[in-house]
Amino acid sequence: MVSSDQGNIAKFMIGITSYGAYVPRYRVPLSDIAKVWGKSPEIIKNSLKIEQKSVPGQDEDAVTIAIDAASDALIGYEGSLENIDALFVGSESHPYAVNPTSTIVGQMLGIGNDYLAADLQFACKAATAGIQAACGLIADNNAVSALVIGADAAQSKPHDMLEYTSAAAGVALILGTTNVAARRAEMVSYSSDTADFWRRDGIAHPSHAGRFTGEPAYFAHVEGAANLLMKKSGITPDKCAYCVFHMPNGKFPRTVAKRLGFTKEQLLPSLTIDKIGNPYSASALLGLVSVLDTASAGDVIFMVSYGSGAGSDGFLWEVTEDINQLQQKRKKAKRLLSDYIGDGMRIDYTTYLKHTGKL
Amino acid sequence: MISPVKIWRNQSSITSYRGRHGVVESWTMIRVPLGTYAHLAPYPVVLVKFEDGTRKSLQLVDWKKEDLKIGTRIQVVIRRITESNDEGVIPYGLKAKPCDGK
Amino acid sequence: MKSFVIGAKTTKFGELWSTSPRTLAKQAVQGALKDAGLKKSGVHAIYVGNMLSGMLGGQEHLGAFFADELNIAGAATKIEGACASGGLAVHQGVVAVESGLYDTVVVLGVEKMTDHKPEAVALALMGAGSDQERLSGATFPGLYAMLARAYMETYGATEEDFAAVSVKNHFHASMNPLAQFRREITVQDVLRSAKIADPLKLLDCSPISDGASAVVITSKASPAGVRIAASVVATDTLALCDRGSLTSLQATKDASSRAYEQAGCGPSDVDVCEVHDCFSIAEVLAMEDLGFYKKGTAAKAIARQETRLGGSGVLVNSSGGLKACGHPVGATGVKQVVEVVDQLLGRAGSRQQTNAHIGLTHNVGGSGATAVVHVFERYQKGES
C-alpha cells in the first residue's frame, strides 16, 4: 500500500517517459484538390494556411497507424512491455463500431494480457482525454506505465471543405513516473454539448455546421480550457517556452494563440498542419511531438486540444533533462517527426481517391 | 470471410516479425492479382531474407521505383490484408516497407 | 521394376465449353482401354489425378465419381498434389502394380478449369502454395517470376532467352492436333505480350485449360511395348521462401537422380522428355535440375534450339509442353506419359523423335514442393 507521501510524489512526477509518431508517406497538394473542383488554389491555401496533406496507404487504417506510432514510442522507452498496464486509443476512425482497436494494438506490440484496454472517441480530442485518464491510473498506483495513442485515417466527402484538411497520422505517448522527460505539471478539461462537427453511426463521412465550428465551438472551448489552466496553475504566457493548440486549419491556432497572449515564436514550432494537414486525434499531439523533438530541460509547454461535440483538454508540460536521451535516440533512428514529415511521396487527386476508398 | 479463429491463432506469428529488418532477395510486380487483392494491383511482392536466415514472401508497400531491386533493405510493418467492404473480422498482417537502413 | 504401359490416350486440350469432365474422362479412359485391347472388367483399380474439382466445382470423392461414371468396378482413389496430381496418380498406379495387389490399373488425369472466372482459378491454384504466400498477395506466376528474377540476376539470362522456351513449344504444338495453341509464335510476340508478374508475360505462362488423359498400367509384358523403368516422387518445402536455392528446384534434382538410379541410366541416355514448363523459367530450371545441362547454361542452350525437334540435344516437350499443348492441371502429368509412350512406340507423327528408346517425364507441384519423375523404356521381347 502506498503512503500518502509516496502517492503525492508519484503525482508530482507523472509525465511522458517516451513518445513517438507516425505519418503515412503519401502527400496530396491542396492545389490538386482545388483544381479538380474549380477553386483557386492560392485562395484555398492562403485561407487555410496548408500546403498539402498526408494520405494513408490503401492498406492503412487507424489500427495500423496506432501500431506504427506505438512502435516509434518504444524506441525511447526504457521500461518493459509488461509494465504497460493501460492502453488507450483515441480515434474517430476506429475500423470497428464494436471491437476494440486498443487490444489489437496491445496484441501486436506483445504487451501481455495484464493491462486495461479502452477505445475512446471524442472527435479530435479522444486521445488527450485518454492522457488524463491514464494519469489518474498511474497516480492511483494501478498502472506503472500507460500507453496513450491518438491515430486517425480521417475521411471526408469529396468537394466538402474538410477535404482540404482531413489527413492521417498517429502519436503515441508512454506515461509513467520513471525517466520522465516531460512532467505533467497541471491538467484541466472544459466540456459542453456543442454539435459543431459530428458523424452518425453507419455514415461514411462527417458533417459540420459551417462557421459555427469557429467562435462558439473551437474558440470557446480552447479559450475556456486555456483560462482554466492559467487560473489553476498560475502560469502566464510569458513563462512558457511553447504553446500547442489543436490545428483544424492553419488559421485557428494562430488566432487563439494571439488572443491568449502567446507570440508567433512560441507557436510556430508546433504548427505541423501546413505540411501534413489535420490528422484529427493526432493533431494537437503531433504539435506536442514536434515541440518535444527540439525542446530543452526547463521548457514549459502550454497545450490545449479540441474535440468537436465539444471539449478541450489543457496541459502544462515541464521538460526535464531526460528529454535529451529521447531526442538522441530518435535522431539516431532517423525517426524525428521532421523525418516523417519530410519523407513524403506526392500523389495526384485520383490516386488520393483510390487510397481513401472512394474509387 | 477469413475465419476469426484462424486470425486469432496466427497472431503470434505476426507479432514476432513486427519491426524486423531484412533484405530483398527477389521481387516481382503482380499485375494480375488474386481476387482479394484486386484493389491494390499492381503491387510488388518480395522474397525477404532476415538476419536469422529465415525468409518470407511479403507484399512491398510505400515503395519508389528504385526500391524494386535485389538488395533493398526493408522493415516489416503491419497493414490491413483485405479490403474493408466485408462483414468479417479485419485481417491484419505483415508487409514489407523500404527503410533505407532506418 | 515390373510394370508396363499398354494403353495411352489424351483428349483435345483447350477451352472446351461444351465438354463436361465426365465426357473428357470417358474419352480418355475408353480410348486408353481400346489402345490396350482391354475390357473394363479387366481393370482392378483406377487412380484419378485432379486438383481443383473440389475448390471450383464443389465435387470431391472423385474416385467413386469416376468409377461410377466409367462403370469400372474396383479400387478407386483421387490423388492430389497440385500440378503434380497427374504424375502422382501415375506413380500410385505403378506402386499398385508393383505391390502385386493389383494386376492392371487405369490412371486418369482430368481437369475442368474454364467454367470459372480466371480470378477464381488463380485463387484456387494458390492452394498449391503456403498460407503466407497467399497472404502476401503472391500469385502462381508471381512465385515463378521471383525464381526468374533470381536466375537472371545470378546467370545473366534475359527475357529473350526465356521467350525461346515458348517459341519452341508452340512450334512443337503446331504439329500436335490435340494441342490448345497450334499457332507458332516469335520471340517478339512473347516480349510484346502483356505483363503478368514482372518479368513474366502472358506468353511466358501456361494457359487455363480443360482436358483429360489416361494410361493403362499392367504387370504383364506384351511382346513389345513400353516398360516403366523408374517412378520416383520427391518433396521439398511448401513455400518458396523456405527453399535452399532460388535458382534450382531440389525436388526435381532428388527425384531425377533417384529415377536415373532406378532405371540404370543417365541424362545422356534420354532421347525424349516431357518436362514441367508451367512458366518458361520452369523449363530452364528443369533442364538443369534433370541433369541435361550444367547450372546456368540451359537458358542459352534452349535459345540455340538444342532441345527442339531436330536439335542436337534431347527433344523436350514435343507435345507443346504445358505452354502450348495446354495445362489442365490434373491431366498434365498423365498426358506427359502418353506423349512419351507415343514417341517410344513411333506414333508421334510429324513430331517423332528418331530412335526414341528412353523417355522421361517430369511433373512438378506448386513452386517446386513436389516433383515426380518417370523413366520409360521401349522394349522388344528378347532384348534385355
Cα distance between residue A79 and residue C353, in whole Å: 74
Q: Work out the average pLDDT over B77-96.
A: 88
* 3-state secondary structure at position A181: coil
The reply to whether C15 touches chain B by the CB within 8 Å rule is no
Kindly list the residues from chain A whose CB atom is less than 8 angstroms away from the CB atom of residue B64.
345
Parallel/antiparallel/unpaired status of strands C45-49 and C75-79: parallel
pLDDT in the model for residue B6 = 87
Per-residue pLDDT, averaged over A252-269, amounts to 98
Q: What is the total residue count of chain C?
A: 384
Does residue A96 sit at the B interface (CB-CB below 8 Å)? Answer: yes
Residue holding cell 491454384?
A: C125
φ, ψ for residue C290, nearest 5 deg: -85, -5
> Residue A22: pLDDT band by 50, 70, 90 thresholds?
very high
Phi, psi of A147 (to 5 degrees): -110, 120
Distance from the Cα of B92 to chain A's closest Cα (Å) equals 8
Give CA–CA dist A44/A28, Å, rounded. Answer: 14
pTM reported for the whole predicted model: 0.91
∠ CA A124-A199-A43, nearest 5°, is 65
Instruction: Report residue B13's pLDDT band, with 50, 70 and 90 as the boundaries.
Output: confident
Using a CB–CB cutoff of 8 Å, tell me whether B32 touches chain C.
Answer: yes
Number of H helices, E strands in chain A: 14, 14
Confidence band, pLDDT 50/70/90 cuts, at residue A39: very high
Residue C327 catalytic? Answer: yes
pLDDT for A349 beyond 60: yes
pLDDT of residue C353: 96
Instruction: Please give the pLDDT value at position A2.
Output: 42
Average pLDDT, rounded, for chain C:
96
Give the HSE-up count for residue C159: Cα atoms under 13 Å, Cβ half-sphere.
19
DSSP C27-62: HHHHHHHHHHT--GGG--EEEEE-SSHHHHH----H
**Does the distance separating the beta carbons of A57 and B18 come in below 8 Å?**
no
**3-state secondary structure (DSSP) of residue B100:** coil
Cell of A350: 485520383
Contact criterion met (CB < 8 Å) for A64 and B62: no
**What stretches in chain C show pLDDT beneath 70?**
382-384
C26 CB contacts (<8 Å, ≥6 apart)? C69, C70
| C156 interface with B at CB cutoff 8 Å | no
- Contacting partners of chain C (3+ CB pairs under 8 A): B
Write b or e for each residue in C254-288: b if 16 or more Cβ atoms lie within 10 A of its Cβ, otherwise e. Answer: bbbbbbbebbebebeebbbbbbbbbbbbbbbbbbb
Q: How far apart are CA C292 and CA C270, in angstroms?
A: 9
Whether the pLDDT of residue A3 is over 70: the answer is no
Tell me which of C44, C91, C327, C362 is the catalytic residue.
C327
* C266, C260 contact by CB (below 8 A): yes
Between CA A313 and CA A303 the distance in angstroms is: 8
With contact defined as beta carbons under 8 Å apart, do C108 and C46 qualify? yes
Helix (H) or strand (E) holding A221: helix A220-233
Determine the average pLDDT of the residues in A203-232: 95
Query: Is the Cβ of C106 closer than 8 Å to some Cβ of chain B?
Result: no
Compute the nearest-CA separation of B81 from chain C (Å): 7
Is the pLDDT reported for residue B82 higher than 90?
no
Q: Please tell me the distance from the alpha carbon of residue A190 to that of residue A213, in angstroms, as a whole number.
A: 16
Residue C252, SS3 per DSSP? helix
Residue ranges of alpha helices (H) inside chain C are: 21-36, 53-57, 62-70, 85-99, 118-125, 131-135, 140-155, 159-173, 187-192, 250-263, 280-289, 298-303, 329-344
DSSP A238: G
Could you count the other beta carbons within 10 Å of the beta carbon of residue A78?
A: 15
E-assigned strand segments in A101-238: 116-120, 145-153, 168-176, 182-194, 197-198, 207-208
Task: Return the number of other C-beta atoms located less than 10 Å from residue C357's C-beta.
Answer: 17
Local confidence band at B100 (pLDDT 50, 70, 90 cut-offs): confident
- Report pLDDT for B84: 62
Residue C57: count other Cβ atoms within 10 Å of its Cβ.
14
pLDDT computed for residue A66 by the predictor: 98
* C313-367 tens-digit pLDDT: 999 999 999 999 999 999 999 999 999 999 999 999 999 999 999 999 999 999 9
Amino acid at A207: S
Do B80 and A64 lie within an 8 Å CB cutoff?
Answer: yes
Q: Which of A92, A135, A163, A186 is catalytic?
A: A92
Secondary structure letter of residue C194 according to DSSP: P
Residue A206 DSSP class: -
Nearest CA-CA distance, residue C163 and chain B, Å: 18
DSSP annotation of A168 = E
Confidence of residue B35 (pLDDT cuts 50, 70, 90): confident
pLDDT tier at A7, thresholds 50, 70, 90: low
**pLDDT value for A9:** 55
Are A316 and A288 contacting, i.e. CB atoms less than 8 angstroms apart?
no
CA distance A184 to A13: 7
pLDDT at C156: 96
How big is chain A, counted in residues? Answer: 359
Of A26, A68, A334, the CB nearest to B77: A68
User: Sign (positive/negative) of CA torsion A194, A197, A199, A200?
Assistant: positive
Cis peptide before B42 (omega within 30 of 0): yes
The CA distance from C260 to A184, in Å, is: 77
Q: Is the Cα torsion angle A128, A129, A135, A138 positive or negative in sign?
A: negative
What is the reported pLDDT for C384?
47
Q: Is A171 left (phi over 0), alpha (psi -120 to 50) or beta?
A: beta
Tell whether B14 lies on the interface with C, counting CB pairs under 8 A: no
pLDDT tens-digit series, residues C193-252: 999 999 999 999 999 999 999 999 999 988 878 999 999 999 999 999 999 999 999 999
Reference A84, options A68, A73, A95, A94; nearest CA is A73
The identity of residue A152, as a single letter, is: D
pLDDT at B101: 62
Please list, in sequence order, all residues whose beta carbon lies within 8 angstroms of the beta carbon of residue B52, skipping any fewer than 6 positions away.
none
Per-residue model confidence (pLDDT) at position B85: 65
Test mutation, A22, A59, A64, chain B, max B CBs within 10 A: A59
Is C116 noted as a catalytic residue in this protein?
no
In the stretch 47-66 of chain B, residues with CB closer than 8 A to chain C read 47-48, 55-59
Q: How far is CA C265 from the centre of its chain?
A: 21
Angle between helices A220-233 and A251-260 (to 10 degrees): 40
- Contacts for A124 with CB less than 8 Å, ≥ 6 apart: A92, A246, A248, A278, A280, A281, A283, A284, A305, A306, A307, A308
Tell me, yes or no, whether chains B and C touch by having 3 or more C-beta pairs under 8 A. yes
Q: What is the pLDDT of residue B3?
A: 84
Describe chain C by its helix, strand, coil percentages, rounded to 5. 45, 20, 35
**Residues of B with CB below 8 A from A58's CB?**
39-40
Number of alpha carbons in the 13 Å side-chain half-sphere of residue A322: 18
Q: What cell was used for C325?
A: 499443348
What value does the mean pLDDT take over residues A234-259? 97
C126 has a chain B CB within 8 A of its CB: yes
C-alpha to C-alpha distance for B83 and B75, rounded to whole angstroms? 23
SS3 C267: helix
**Chain C nearest-CA residue for B82:** C135
CA distance A89 to A96: 13
Q: Extract the runs of DSSP E, i.e. beta strands, from A23-83.
A: 26-29, 52-55
Average pLDDT along chain A: 94
Smallest Cα distance from A72 to chain B, Å: 10
Asked whether the beta carbons of A185 and A320 are under 8 A apart, the reply is no
Buried b (16+ CB within 10 A) or exposed e, C90-121: bbbbbbbbbeeebebbbbbbbbbbbebeeebb
What is the rounded average pLDDT for all residues in chain B?
Answer: 91
- B19 CB neighbours in chain A (<8 A) are 71
A1, with CB counted inside 10 A (0-12, 13-18, 19+), is exposed
Q: What are phi and psi of C46, to 5 degrees?
A: -130, 135
Task: Report the distance separating Cα C332 and Cα C176, nearest Å.
Answer: 15
Which of C44, C83, C265, C278 is catalytic? The answer is C83
What was the pLDDT predicted at A6?
53
**pLDDT (tens digit per residue) in A108-154:** 999 999 999 999 999 999 999 999 999 999 999 999 999 999 999 98
Q: What are the CA-CA distances from residue B54 to residues A346, B61, C244 (Å)?
A: 34, 20, 11
Q: Which chains touch B (3 or more CB pairs under 8 A)?
A: A, C
Residue from C117, C126, C136 whose CB has the most chain B CBs within 10 Å, to mutate: C136
